A and B are shown apart, each in its own frame.
Chain A
Amino acid sequence: MVECEKLGFEATELRLGLPGGGEKSNANYGKRGYAETVDLKLNLSTKEICLDQSDLDEKNLNKEKNLMPNCATDSVKPPAKAQVVGWPPVRSFRKNVMAVQKKSDSEEAEKGTGGAAAFVKVSMDGAPYLRKVDLKMYKTYQELSDALGKMFSSFTIGKCDSQGMMDFMNESKLMDLLNGSDYVPTYEDKDGDWMLVGDVPWEMFVESCKRLRIMKGTEAKGLASGLDFGVE
């Protein structure tokens, strides 16, 4: 499966053109660059991520914690400070409701992995029967992939190298992949949503996965969270 821990920063430096807008210059990162009041701090507490220490360049993690885009070539006026009182003007009632919901979301993400086994059903489109796997038996996506590969013949996950990861980020390539005849592994998470396997760190996946389904690429299209809003 996905073994990305060796990706260097060059790989994450996305130089591909935007979908449908290849000619946009760097200046248009200014489209997003005016983010002084948007605090892009990724709340990267390692507790939340549950990363393997060996896989992580921790120094780089800390350095990137404050991701304030520095494309502020378009500064006009000193911007308002981040998180101004009463801005954006959203009623406190609404803010409180959202805060509670957000809290319960992140509480779920923070729960550590327990010790018990984590058996989940695995189905594959077209296969006559389902199987069960214990996710706790594996430490990485690759290991799970190998195990599943042995259980079900003729299934491919899709490219898992760095180039493959880049493909996912390019909308049109993602569409190609999903349109292809490859199989795509998906899973149902705690909220009942069907997600593409490989997005989240392994530990988080184990914690939230309730069942696995290996779908045909064409069916998995709808999972690309709204990149294509197919009508039911």
Chain B
Amino acid sequence: MLNYFPEEVLEHVFDFVTSHRDRNAVSLVCKSWYSVERFSREKVFIGNCYAVNPERVIARFPRVRSLTLKGKPHFADFNLVPPDWGGYVYPWIEAMAKHGINLEELRLKRMVVSDESLELLAKSFPNFKSLVLVSCEGFTTDGLAAIASNCRFLRELDLQENEVDDRKGQWLSCFPDSCTSLISLNFACLKGEVNAAALERLVARCPNLRSLRLNHAVPLDTLQKILTQAPQLNDLGTGSFVHDPDSETCGKLKNAMKKCKSIRSLSGFLDVNARCLPAVYPICTNLTSLNLSYAPGIYSNDLIKLICHCKKLERLWVCFFIKLIHYTYFFSGVPLSNQGLNWIMQILDTIGDKGLGAVASTCKELQELRVFPSDLYGVGNAGVTEEGLVAISAGCPKLNSILYFCQQMTNAALITVAKNCPNFIRFRLCTLNPTIPDAVTNLPLDEGFGAIVQSCKGLKRLSVSGLLTDQVFLYIGMYAEQLEMLSIAFAGDSDKGMLYVLNGCKKLKKLEIRDSPFGNVALLADVGKYETMRSLWMSSCEVTFGACKTLAEKMPRLNVEIINEGEEIEASPDDRHRVEKMYLYRTLVGPRRDAPDFVWTL
């Protein structure tokens, strides 16, 4: 019936279809819908930049205005992927410039972005409005200067956790006086200074500025001046939060904060004097998002005091830092026995858990919680235990997303959590000792995670850790019907584990496995499955060269990449050789041409 509507009508209807999945579905209905849809699609999402190439995307979606690209596999975050593996954005920018694409937005995650790319971007797209870079690398502040100077209508420059070489130039001063369109500016990940006066002037002339995240080099008095100019902010990332708390500046800051009635999201505090924190109390009552995970200077009791003001919090990222050194030297230099140290750890753990108890009793609207490890390098690891998690689950019924690093866990706790919070969409648990059993029973944590997948019927993302056998994967395969992403480390006993998952999780898109005894039988059991998924990563498992070759032969629309670091590039390695790192993904365009020497596509 709808074929009789003129295309303009179809197009108009499709305007209301915004999610890329829905758009993909629409395009599969019939040829005419495919055609209308492709000409009207403005936002394109590419989950794996090597699944397709720029020319094909441009050919299919000539009117694309917003492009999202993801590059390296997730485990690259944890140093498992060597540098120079790939994920370069340059070819995409070059192709779009060549084809006269009217690009307005570019969002990149885990990609390599050179200054050259940024310069080309800045000069090629006159309507460019929005650049969002997450966990990218390869550029310097010179590239940012090019963006600032040339993008006349820039609305958004959002840099999240990128590795940026700070050339100590004055990139921020490159925003011309005529630039008044900024809505969002986030440079928290930069290490160098920016010109304070230039920053203040920039803020003053951008009346639509809603989101501003400063880096730690911006001092408190600059923050105070900025807030006075921009009381309309929704989202603030403080720079350095260090000052004499009794000073006039801190007083002015508190007053400026009181006028910022729209701030709903707060982050930063990379450098903090906890006694200055009360300055932010005025905005705490309306906060829905708080990220203190980079703030080691806030000790637990100050953190707790702050959180107690935040009753509307929906999202919280924390770590609990305790200055352990004061306790270890309690006995003035006489070192503590093992038991003494254990006991101190337990008290400090309770501080972490009590902190979470404070969150549980205050933040009833909480939906997302991330608790990061408290002290990665130092003496011992005081942090949180299963008790904190149970408290949160009991106090925060709306919780649907959690990332929790902890010392230990128990099945009983996980079962309780599963009962309390059946709404989890993302559940990521990370025990600091990756194979630690149940802290009370010493059994594997299979039953606990089993309870989670059984109870949380909408679970889309799961990371498991602790001592785990094949049993947990049986549960996952049986119950995790909506699961799209699964991360496994140091788990399982045999191929059966992986097979349960591949057979059971029909909606699985990304599977990443490290240091687990899964091998060829599991890998080759259902080769067709991988075309329904975005990617599979396996490192330090039991798969061999021979099996990978077999897989690659059977499935031409998969790229099966073997990553050999520093090993001999033999002409023909033994088929029985175990593969250290394998990354496979579906693709329309065959082996990529930019693979470095140490990556073989079979």
Q: Which residues of chain B come closer than 8 Å to A229, judged between CB atoms?
A: 300-301, 304-305, 308, 354-355, 357-358
Q: Is the CB of A225 within 8 A of B334?
A: no
Q: Which residues of chain A come closer than 8 Å to B340, judged between CB atoms?
A: 12-14, 169
Q: Is the CB of B77 within 8 A of A95?
A: no
Q: Which residue of B lies closest to A92 (CB)?
A: B79
Q: Is the CB of B490 within 8 A of A80?
A: yes
Q: Which residues of chain A come closer than 8 Å to B380, judged between CB atoms?
A: 38, 40
| B12 contacts partner chain A, Cβ-Cβ < 8 Å | no
Q: Which residues of chain B come closer than 8 Å to A51, judged between CB atoms?
A: 333
Q: Which residues of chain B come closer than 8 Å to A90, judged between CB atoms?
A: 78, 372-373, 376, 405
Residues 10-52 (chain A) with a chain B CB within 8 angstroms? 11-14, 18-19, 29-38, 40-44, 49, 51
> CA–CA, A65 to B379, complex, Å?
11
Q: Is the CB of A49 within 8 A of B273?
A: no
| B397 contacts partner chain A, Cβ-Cβ < 8 Å | no
Q: Which residue of B lies closest to A7 (CB)?
A: B334
Q: Is the CB of B339 within 8 A of A29?
A: yes
Contact with B along A213-229 (1 / 0, CB 8 A): 00000000010011101
Q: Which residues of chain B come closer than 8 Å to A85, judged between CB atoms?
A: 78-80
| A129 contacts partner chain B, Cβ-Cβ < 8 Å | no
- Interface segment among B22-30, B194-202, B231-239, B426-434: the answer is B426-434
Residues 320-353 (chain B) with a chain A CB within 8 angstroms? 322-323, 325-347, 350-351
Q: Which residues of chain B come closer than 8 Å to A42, judged between CB atoms?
A: 328, 335, 379
Q: A2-B332, A192-B274 are in contact. Are A171 and B347 (CB under 8 A)?
A: yes
Which of B328, B430, B467 has a CB less than 8 Å from the CB of A76? B467
| B575 contacts partner chain A, Cβ-Cβ < 8 Å | no
Q: How far is the CB of B372 from chain A (nearest CB, A)?
A: 7
Which of the four size classes fits the interface of chain A?
35 or more
| B562 contacts partner chain A, Cβ-Cβ < 8 Å | no
> CA–CA, A30 to B346, complex, Å?
11
Q: Which residue of A lies closest to B306 (CB)?
A: A232
Q: A29-B342, A51-B333, A229-B301 are in contact. Are A37 and B78 (CB under 8 A)?
A: no
Which of B161, B293, B333, B408 has a CB less than 8 Å from the CB of A31? B408
Q: Is the CB of A200 within 8 A of B301?
A: no
Q: Is the CB of B408 within 8 A of A34?
A: yes
| A137 contacts partner chain B, Cβ-Cβ < 8 Å | no
Q: Which residues of chain A come closer than 8 Å to B301, judged between CB atoms?
A: 222, 225-226, 229-230
| A102 contacts partner chain B, Cβ-Cβ < 8 Å | yes
Q: Is the CB of A91 within 8 A of B135?
A: yes
Q: Which residues of chain A come closer than 8 Å to B80, judged between CB atoms?
A: 85-86
| B270 contacts partner chain A, Cβ-Cβ < 8 Å | yes
Q: Which residue of B lies closest to A82 (CB)?
A: B433
Residues 212-263 (chain B) with a chain A CB within 8 angstroms? 245
Q: A13-B339, A29-B342, A34-B433 are in contact. Are A93 and B332 (CB under 8 A)?
A: no
Q: A12-B336, A88-B430, A94-B161 are in contact. Are A226 and B330 (CB under 8 A)?
A: no
Q: A12-B331, A13-B339, A192-B273 are in contact. Are A32 and B346 (CB under 8 A)?
A: yes
Q: How far is the CB of B565 from chain A (nearest CB, A)?
A: 11
Q: Is the CB of B275 within 8 A of A193?
A: yes
Q: Which residues of chain B come closer than 8 Å to A225, judged between CB atoms?
A: 299-301, 322-323, 326, 351
Q: How far is the CB of B566 from chain A (nearest CB, A)?
A: 14
Q: How far is the CB of B298 from chain A (nearest CB, A)?
A: 10
> CA–CA, A80 to B437, complex, Å?
13
Main secondary structure of the interface of A (DSSP, over half): loop
Q: Which residues of chain B come closer than 8 Å to A80, judged between CB atoms?
A: 433-435, 490, 515
Q: Which residues of chain A come closer than 8 Å to B375, judged between CB atoms?
A: 102
> CA–CA, A138 to B364, complex, Å?
52
Contact with A along B416-436 (1 / 0, CB 8 A): 000000000000001011111
Q: Is the CB of B345 within 8 A of A49?
A: no
Q: Is the CB of A88 within 8 A of B335?
A: no
Q: A32-B346, A90-B376 are in contact. Are A37 and B77 (CB under 8 A)?
A: no
> CA–CA, A231 to B343, complex, Å?
26
| B415 contacts partner chain A, Cβ-Cβ < 8 Å | no
Q: Which residues of chain B come closer than 8 Å to A71, judged between CB atoms?
A: 338, 342
Q: Is the CB of A202 within 8 A of B161?
A: no
Q: Which residue of A lies closest to B274 (CB)?
A: A193
Q: How far is the CB of A197 from chain B (nearest CB, A)?
A: 11
Residues 69-103 (chain A) with a chain B CB within 8 angstroms? 69-71, 74, 76-77, 79-80, 84-95, 97-99, 101-102
Q: Is the CB of B296 within 8 A of A98?
A: yes
Q: Which residues of chain B come closer than 8 Å to A61, judged between CB atoms?
A: 333, 335
> CA–CA, A2 to B333, complex, Å?
12
Contact with A along B426-454 (1 / 0, CB 8 A): 00001011111101001000000000000
Q: How far is the CB of A185 from chain B (nearest CB, A)?
A: 15
Q: How far is the CB of B589 from chain A (nearest CB, A)?
A: 29
Q: Which residues of chain A come closer than 8 Å to B373, judged between CB atoms?
A: 88, 90
Q: Which residue of B lies closest to A96 (CB)?
A: B163
Q: Is the CB of B79 within 8 A of A13?
A: no
| A146 contacts partner chain B, Cβ-Cβ < 8 Å | no
| B514 contacts partner chain A, Cβ-Cβ < 8 Å | yes
Q: Is the CB of B435 within 8 A of A79?
A: yes
Q: Is the CB of A92 within 8 A of B358?
A: no
> CA–CA, A88 to B322, complex, Å?
19
Contact with A along B452-472 (1 / 0, CB 8 A): 000000000001000100000
Which of A7, A37, A68 has a CB less than 8 Å from the CB of B433? A37
Q: How far is the CB of B470 from chain A (nearest CB, A)?
A: 14
Which of B338, B345, B437 has a CB less than 8 Å from the CB of A74? B437
Q: A38-B380, A76-B467 are in contact. Are A5 and B300 (CB under 8 A)?
A: no
| B377 contacts partner chain A, Cβ-Cβ < 8 Å | yes
| B189 contacts partner chain A, Cβ-Cβ < 8 Å | yes
| A199 contacts partner chain B, Cβ-Cβ < 8 Å | yes
Q: A86-B78, A226-B301 are in contact. Are A97 and B331 (CB under 8 A)?
A: no
Q: Is the CB of B333 within 8 A of A5?
A: yes
Q: Is the CB of B330 within 8 A of A169?
A: yes
> CA–CA, A102 to B515, complex, Å?
30
Q: Which residue of A lies closest to B297 (CB)?
A: A191
> CA–CA, A42 to B322, complex, Å?
15
Q: Which residues of chain A come closer than 8 Å to B339, judged between CB atoms?
A: 13-14, 29, 69
Q: How far is the CB of A96 from chain B (nearest CB, A)?
A: 8
Q: Which residues of chain B come closer than 8 Å to A168, judged between CB atoms?
A: 330
CB-defined A-B contacts under 8 Å, sample of 12: A7-B334, A30-B439, A40-B379, A56-B333, A64-B336, A69-B338, A88-B405, A93-B161, A98-B377, A226-B301, A229-B358, A232-B305
**A contacts, CB < 8 Å to B:** 2, 4-5, 7, 9, 11-14, 18-19, 29-38, 40-44, 49, 51, 55-57, 60-61, 64-65, 67-71, 74, 76-77, 79-80, 84-95, 97-99, 101-102, 105, 109, 165, 168-169, 171, 191-193, 195, 199-202, 204, 222, 225-227, 229-232
**B contacts, CB < 8 Å to A:** 75, 77-80, 135, 161-163, 189, 245, 270-271, 273-276, 278, 293-294, 296-297, 299-301, 304-305, 308, 322-323, 325-347, 350-351, 354-355, 357-358, 372-373, 375-381, 405, 407-408, 430, 432-437, 439, 442, 463, 467, 487, 489-490, 514-515
With A14-B339, A192-B276, A202-B332 already in contact, 13 other A-B pairs whose C-beta atoms are closer than 8 Å: A5-B333, A12-B340, A14-B340, A18-B343, A32-B342, A34-B439, A51-B333, A64-B337, A67-B336, A87-B434, A94-B294, A102-B378, A231-B308
